[in-house]
Amino acid sequence: MSNLMRYLPHTEADRRTMLATIGVSSIDDLYRDVPPSARLTRPVDLPHHMSELEVERTVSRLAAKNRPAGSMASFLGAGAYRHHVPAAVDHLIQRGEFLTSYTPYQPEVSQGTLQYLFEFQTQVALITGMDVANASMYDGATSCAEAVMMANRVTRRGKAVLSGGLHPHYREVVETYARWSGFSAKSATPDPRGEEDIAALIDGETSCVVVQNPSVFGHVRDLTPLAAACQKAGALLVVAVTEVVSLGLIAPPGEMGADIVVAEGQSIGNALGFGGPYVGLFATRERYVRHMPGRLVGETADVDGRRGWVLTLSTREQHIRREKATSNICTNSGLCALAFTIHMALLGDAGFIRLAEINHARASALAGKLATVKGVEVLNDAFFNEFTLRLPKPAAGIVDHLVDKDVLAGVPGGRLWPDRPELADLLLVAATETNDEEDIDRFVRTLAEVL
């Protein structure tokens, strides 16, 4: 009975007493203001209450129906990447002082939290090549939308131009923000070969151009000419990075003239988790810092001259009047940011570069072998750890067959662009340090068999 009480603590007598205390005769009376048309006429189709042991058994049976991604050779990417996370990362972030802390409402008291956020900002600014970074955002997609709104504030314009190489989920988030925030977002047509001329879409109303590097198709490009075109037109260049490990090898966006850089930090310190939690990175030029969303931790000294940290900039409605807030994102991904910081500290400069080199080498080896499979075309001339294949038939069915052979082959184009049948034969493939030669050979062999 004690186990049952843990989940359903109120007895019938308890319920009668509570109803009598508030002056109603039945539980239904509590919902009398809800129209009958909105009420269920029967119980919800869910299991009845169980003991703790029964719950464990039921959940275990449900979990057993899944095939763990870790049990197969995985080449999934498209914005969510499988990387090795050192055991030290999880061990440290699960310390009580980190795991149970929340956003610093009294920041000067939370010196430990502020210190690691300061280190996080420093790391993000360094790898993106920018002057300043904030204390994190929710994820890469919302960071991208916030960057567009920031560009609107800086330029006092209201039109964003989105590259066709921008991840469609990022594009959709920007379009959602645009719909309810009163600006427009013009998207270029997805170009699997990466030959778009996005600069041709810039006009006098353009607040920013948003490009992804590497693109969602894996193409790596020099953004310097585009940055010059944006500057000439008075627009800002926003660069999105979905695979942050790429910054270990590719020239950082800041060096190519980006005004705002947003990224998904999941690849560093944060394992795949069915869509989250992730951590958004956001960096910009110092001259735009007061338009930046979120919070900025700065270094200071106390009255005794000791080094300390403070919230230098707090542009969210938690700290200032809602109408003056630059963003209504209400918190930051603090624990995920800490995981990122610890992993980056463990890697160091040399380790970060070496990790990127291994990723590129594995992807290059895979692409070279896949290109020899009859009917398969690699569409990329330059890539980091992800590239696009064109297959002789729709990719979704091929992926399903490969799963039966214990290979997660990649993300079909039809899944990301369901409204564009011309992209259905595309397969986005990523290889990381977690893929060894055996994984690569199995993928190549099984793809050839299926085709």
Burial label, 232 (beta-carbon count in 10 A; 0-12, 13-18, 19+): exposed
pLDDT for 297 beyond 50:
yes
- The Cα–Cα gap between 124 and 261 comes to 10
Structural domains of the chain, with CATH: 1-40 (no CATH), 69-83+348-450 (3.90.1150.10), 87-344 (3.40.640.10)
Kindly report the CA angle at 32 between 31 and 35, in degrees rounded to 5? 95
- pLDDT: is 328 or 290 the higher one? 290
What are the tens digits of pLDDT across the range 16-46? 999 999 999 998 899 999 998 998 888 888 8
Distance, in Å, from the CA atom of 145 to the CA atom of 152, rounded to the nearest integer, reads: 11
Under the banding of pLDDT at 50, 70 and 90, the label for residue 3 is very low
Contacts of 167 (CB under 8 A, 6+ apart): 78, 79, 141, 212, 216, 240, 242, 416
pTM, to two decimals: 0.88
Is 415's pLDDT higher than 90?
Answer: yes
Percent of the chain with pLDDT over 90: 80
- For residues 417-439, average pLDDT: 97
Q: What is the pLDDT of residue 94?
A: 93
pLDDT band at 321 (very low <50, low <70, confident <90, very high): low
At residue 1, does pLDDT exceed 50? no
The pLDDT value recorded for residue 327 is: 72
Q: What is the tens place of the pLDDT at every residue in 216-257?
A: 999 999 999 999 999 999 999 999 999 999 999 999 999 999
Pair of tokens at residue 281: 């990175």
Mean pLDDT of 424-447: 97
Q: What share of the chain is helix, strand, coil (3-state, %, to 5)?
A: 45, 15, 40
- What is the CB neighbour count within 10 angstroms for residue 400? 12
Q: Which residues contact 75 (CB under 8 A, 6 or more apart)?
A: 366, 407, 408, 409, 410, 429, 430, 431, 435, 439, 443
- On average, the pLDDT of the chain sits at 92
User: What is the sign, positive or negative, of the torsion defined by CA atoms of 393, 399, 401, 405?
Assistant: positive
Q: What confidence category does residue 328 fall into, taking pLDDT thresholds of 50, 70 and 90?
A: low
Residue with token string 């843990």: 6
Rounded-to-integer distance, Cα 177 and Cα 207, Å: 15
Lowest-confidence region among 25-29, 66-70, 163-167, 214-218: 66-70
Instruction: Assess whether pLDDT exceeds 60 at residue 176.
Output: yes
